[in-house]
Structure 1
């Protein structure tokens, strides 16, 4: 039966040669019961350490871990009804697929008939029924990973943990297995926690995403909220491909409120968000998909450097005359070449504004709703 997972002020420190390394720093969150939650972030941000503390493979330096109302901080992994799939595909090479999937059940003393029934159900769900009598060496990488998933699935865990299970697969197999894992979640009555450094996996598979930064929680929200309402420049840059453009600007007073003045553009801004910030350097975050070569209320110049074609869209990597890197995504840029100069525009509604500390000051809807219509720059 699925249970929520509570992390309460969890810290994890490692000590080596007199040096303390903080892997996880004061992490508090509740992963909803039955949800598919992904821990994402760059290498070294603490996501695998967090997963291992949930599994019981690591003990927190301080703080508590609970499954529902049960404090499991000091429980051994085998007493948590928790299964884990590791990055490396750990199959027994001398056992058949059937034996690999059912090994955990055999250790638990589950009768053979019941084992076989559960193995057959797992194999059918993961579409590997025809592979049950084969040996691991006879399988492809994707099939081996399905076997590893099956060995966890078959234990009927309350919590299923997956530590970068697709990192060694090619792009096609990753896409196939993403669907399989989501289908598995629908079949299971379990809370699933998935670790990846690939934000595409996090955004396409998850009910909720935990984005970590140097061991600390940066944002915990549904994927759409991370994309549309990032709490910081770090979140905006990490989530989305290509990364969010960050345009420097300065808060300047005007007769009616304030303006965010940048290189070739000026965005009116609501007084309540910027009072007392006169002269402060801020940044405007604009996703490449929201920069238009055909319109937008606020326009500036970009000099193209590299042009990539991605299916029906083109990505122009360039920079402003002042040296700010800018990416533009549009299906209409196929004729752009190196060193071409183009004018692109954005609307205030599509902007995030970040303060000097990198935290979000306001979102585009606040700019669009509370500001007068801008005068276009000539």
Structure 2
């Protein structure tokens, strides 16, 4: 039976002779019961450590972890009814696929007839029925990972933990297994926590995403909210491909009100967010997908440097007159060559504005007000 997972100021430290390394720093959040939640972030941000604390393989230095109302902070892994699939495919080479999938059930004392029924059901779900009597060495990487998923699936866990299970697979197999894992989640009565450094996996598979930054929680929200309403420049840059463009600007006051002034454009902004910031340097963020070759309200001139084709779309990597790097994505850039001058445009509703610490001041919709002056 799926259970929610609660973190209450959880901290994990690793001590050496000369220093203390904080892997997870006062993490507080609640993962909903039955959800598919992804932990994402760069290497060393604390993803796997957090997952291992859920599993009971690591004990928090301080704080509390609970499954529903049950405090599991000091419980052993065997007491938690968790199943975990590791990054490295851990199969017993001397056992058949059937034996590998059913090994955990055998240790639990499940009768053979019941084991076989559960194994057959799992194999059918994961489309590996024809592989059951083979040895692991006879399988492809994708098939081996399906076996590892099957061995976790048959245990009917309350919590299923997946630690970068696709990191060693090629792009085609990753795409196939993303579908398999999501289908598996629909059939399981379990809370799934998935660790990856691949934001594409995080954004396409998850009900919500936990984005970590050097052991600290940066944002916990559904994928669409991380994309549209990042709480910081870190989130805006990490989520989305290519990364969000970040341009330096100044808050100025004019006869018509307040504006964000940057090389090439002035954007009218509301007093409620900027009246007390006149003269401050801020950062304006805009996603490459929102820079258009069409006639928009605001303009941005760049020089194209590198052009990449991604299917029907093209990514232009360029720079402004002051040397700021700018990326733009559109199907309309097919005829662009390196060195071409591009007149891009955008709308205020598509911007993010960050303060000098990188925290979000406001999002694009907050900039759009009927009483704002039009751009000069």
Q: Could you say which TM-score interval applies, normalised by the shorter chain?
A: over 0.9
Where does residue 64 of structure 2 map in the other structure? 64
Counterpart CA distance in 2 for 1:156 and 1:320 is: 55
Where does residue 190 of structure 2 map in the other structure? 190
Q: Classify 1:46/1:371 alpha carbon distance in 2 versus 1 (closer, same or farther; 3 Å).
A: farther
8 Å Cα contact 1:269-1:371 kept in structure 2: no
Where does residue 366 of structure 1 map in the other structure? 366
SS for the counterpart of 2:332 is: coil
1:214 has 2:214 as partner: yes
Q: Classify 1:72/1:370 alpha carbon distance in 2 versus 1 (closer, same or farther; 3 Å).
A: farther
Counterpart CA distance in 2 for 1:156 and 1:206 is: 20
Cα shift readout 1:281-332 (whole Å, capped 9, x = no counterpart): 1111100000011122110210010001111001000000101000010111
Can you give the 5+ residue segments of structure 1 that lack an aligned partner in the other structure? none
Counterpart CA distance in 1 for 2:350 and 2:375 is: 17
Where does residue 244 of structure 1 map in the other structure? 244
Where does residue 229 of structure 1 map in the other structure? 229
Where does residue 346 of structure 2 map in the other structure? 346
Cα shift readout 1:12-50 (whole Å, capped 9, x = no counterpart): 000112210000000000000000000000000001000
Where does residue 114 of structure 1 map in the other structure? 114
SS for the counterpart of 2:204 is: helix
Counterpart CA distance in 2 for 1:317 and 1:327 is: 5
Counterpart CA distance in 1 for 2:251 and 2:375 is: 17
How far did 1:370 drift? 5.4
TM-score of the aligned structures, taking structure 2 as reference length: 0.99
Alignment of 1:43-62 (within 5 A): 43-62=43-62
Where does residue 179 of structure 2 map in the other structure? 179
CA RMSD in angstroms, aligned pairs only: 0.8
8 Å Cα contact 2:219-2:235 kept in structure 1: yes
Alignment of 1:261-300 (within 5 A): 261-300=261-300
Where does residue 28 of structure 1 map in the other structure? 28
8 Å Cα contact 2:270-2:372 kept in structure 1: no
Alignment of 1:318-357 (within 5 A): 318-357=318-357
Counterpart CA distance in 2 for 1:160 and 1:341 is: 51
How far did 1:373 drift? 4.8
1:163 has 2:163 as partner: yes
Counterpart CA distance in 2 for 1:312 and 1:369 is: 35
Where does residue 311 of structure 1 map in the other structure? 311
Counterpart CA distance in 1 for 2:252 and 2:295 is: 25
Cα shift readout 1:182-211 (whole Å, capped 9, x = no counterpart): 000000000000000000000000000000
Counterpart CA distance in 1 for 2:373 and 2:241 is: 30
Counterpart CA distance in 2 for 1:373 and 1:124 is: 62
SS for the counterpart of 1:98 is: helix
8 Å Cα contact 1:270-1:370 kept in structure 2: no
8 Å Cα contact 1:268-1:374 kept in structure 2: yes
- Give the stretch that moved more between structures: 253-262 or 220-229: 253-262
Counterpart CA distance in 2 for 1:369 and 1:159 is: 46
How far did 1:375 drift? 2.8
SS for the counterpart of 1:305 is: strand
SS for the counterpart of 1:332 is: helix
8 Å Cα contact 2:353-2:362 kept in structure 1: yes
- Give the stretch that moved more between structures: 366-375 or 297-306: 366-375
TM-score of the aligned structures, taking structure 1 as reference length: 0.98
How far did 1:96 drift? 0.2
8 Å Cα contact 2:256-2:373 kept in structure 1: no
Counterpart CA distance in 2 for 1:87 and 1:371 is: 54
Counterpart CA distance in 2 for 1:323 and 1:371 is: 34
How far did 1:335 drift? 1.1
